[in-house]
Amino acid sequence: MTSDHIMTATSPSTSPARARLMLWATGLFVLAALLYGAWWLLFAAHHESTDDAYVHGNLVQISAQIPGTVIAIGAEETQTVTQGDRLVTLDGSDTDIALAQAQAALAQAVRHTRTLFVQNDALAADVAVGEANVAQAKTLLSKAHNDLQRRNALRGTGGVSGEELLHAQVAVKSAEAVLAQARAGLAASRAKLATNQALTRNSTVSTHPDVLQAADQVRQAWLASERTRILAPVGGMVAQRSVQLGQRIQPGAPLMTVVPLDSLWVEANFKENQLDAMRPGQKATLISDLYGRKITYHGTVAGIAAGSGSAFALLPAQNASGNWIKVIQRVPVRIRLDPQELQAHPLRVGLSMTVEVDLSSTPEQAGQDAQGQSGEASAVALSTPVYDHDTAGIDARIRRIIQDNIDS
């Protein structure tokens, strides 16, 4: 049998099978395209995702407010602390001495001020005495003038000698000198009284400026003594501890870092062509590489950065060169996590995340305003009361020092 007879015999049996196979393949491709189109229209068109996302958090740096020598460290790395826990203790010898000196200076200021008020009465008495002396000197001068006038009247009749006339003239000169001296003494007493009254006008011993300034010095010294105990401003995990026992530290020097792990967020870097429909307030689902797909986090878009990551880099890209190549940019988007989910499944700063944002959840549905800005934007993200010192005790001590030195 020749090859032509073989081809003629097999062609009718193989061509229909191949045609059916091609038909099935075409149908599968069409079905896949329809399924993909339906998936894209129903889901993918309303979602944007990225795996270029990482966990971020507040890195609260701990530093001293006064210089000092470290005598105790109350927390180590990886240790969890609560707000107000003592982290570092400084030597308080110098601050205790400064506080004692300030209290002594306050007592001295009170006694000096009390003396000023007492001197007012004494100086007023001196003024009264000076006024009496001036009045007496005026009387003596008037008498001396009258005597001189009588003797001048008798001079032509020879009823008075030249020596008596000379004595009368000398008496007038002496009375004038006494009056001038009395007036000078009165002016000096009045000047002293005016100066003393100016120092004490509109005040008491306890409200005198010198006393108030000394009291503020006591408060400042007490505050420095309180600051020898460095407390945790927030609760969280200790990291980056660099302080050592016996170290002499200066204000502002970093000692350690506290990371509040209950207020973490995710920074997702989306491509610029993914941000067209993205708005603050839209819902997002997140998966951590730490737990895998068995744990899904739910978050909210808190905000979109003002620029791409390269725009805020230490060395921004310069594209004004001849070999410029366009590179798609990525813009950081902050995702706020659910606190309850974060508490149930803790995360750490720097972990990788996969983020998917639901673009169909509009900002109005998420409780945003018309501009897509969150109402929480003006709220304080973090605050701490550990630097609010209760001054009731030192104020009572200051009042006691003032009263004891007024009465002494």
161-170 core/surface letters (b: 16 or more CB in 10 A; e: else): eeeebeebee
81-94: average pLDDT? 94
What whole-number percentage of the chain has pLDDT above 90? 44
Residue 76's pLDDT band (boundaries 50, 70, 90)? very high
Question: Does the reported pTM lie above 0.75?
Answer: no
Helices (H), 227-305: none
Tokens of 303: 């905000």
**Residue, of 136 and 238, whose pLDDT is higher:** 238
Chain centroid, CA 166 distance in Å? 86
Residue 208's pLDDT band (boundaries 50, 70, 90)? confident
Instruction: Specify whether the CB–CB gap between 167 and 147 falls below 8 A.
Output: no
249-261: average pLDDT? 94
CA 300/CA 323 separation, integer angstroms:
40
Return all residues near 346 (Cβ < 8 A) that are at least 6 apart. Answer: 261
Residue 325 CB neighbour total at 10 angstroms: 6
pLDDT of residue 155: 64
Kindly list the structural domains of the chain, giving each domain's residue range(s) and its CATH number in brackets, ordered by start: 60-87+230-259 (2.40.50.100), 95-223+393-407 (1.10.287)
E strand spans, 243-307: 248-249, 254-259, 265-271, 283-288, 296-304
**HSE of 9, CA atoms in CB hemisphere, 13 A:** 6
**HSE of 75, CA atoms in CB hemisphere, 13 A:** 28
CA 329/CA 285 separation, integer angstroms:
23
For 114-141, write each residue's pLDDT tens digit: 887 777 777 777 777 777 777 887 887 7
Residue 321's pLDDT band (boundaries 50, 70, 90)? low
